[in-house]
Amino acid sequence: MAAVDPIQVVEAAYRKMEAHFWYSVAETLDRVFANGTQQAAEFRRQLVIYRSQLSQASAEEQLLVYHSEPLDVAADLAGAKVTSEHISAYRSLIHAPAET
């Protein structure tokens, strides 16, 4: 019987969490903050740059980001102040059934 390597399990869980976090940030940028496809594309470009910069940051800095709400990270990238309308749209987004 093969033994399960706990480090591999943790790494797989981390990768899954990380992917979900960035998917949530990207969807929030598109559906909550972007006003049209051009702005959504610009926000996505900013997200790619931010992720690249974050990958060079310390583990502590990265953990701070991953403990943030995707809404807050998206707002920062969009240069927006979160309003009650943003919160309502975000709640609808995170409670919507997953697209297949």
Residue 21 inside a domain? The answer is yes
Residue 43 inside a domain? The answer is yes
Residue type, 42: E
Measure the CA dihedral 21/26/28/31, to 10°.
-150
Model confidence pLDDT, tens digit, residues 29-74: 999 999 999 999 999 999 999 999 999 999 999 999 999 999 999 9
- pLDDT over 70 (residue 15): yes
Tally of domains in the chain? 1
Return contacts of 3-7, CB within 8 angstroms, 24+ apart. none
**Domain of 87, in residue numbers:** 12-95
- pLDDT over 80 (residue 2): no
Model confidence pLDDT, tens digit, residues 64-83: 999 999 999 999 999 999 99
Residue 3 inside a domain? The answer is no
Residue 90 inside a domain? The answer is yes
Rounded to the nearest 10 degrees, what angle do helices 6-28 and 59-66 cross at?
60
Residue 1 inside a domain? The answer is no
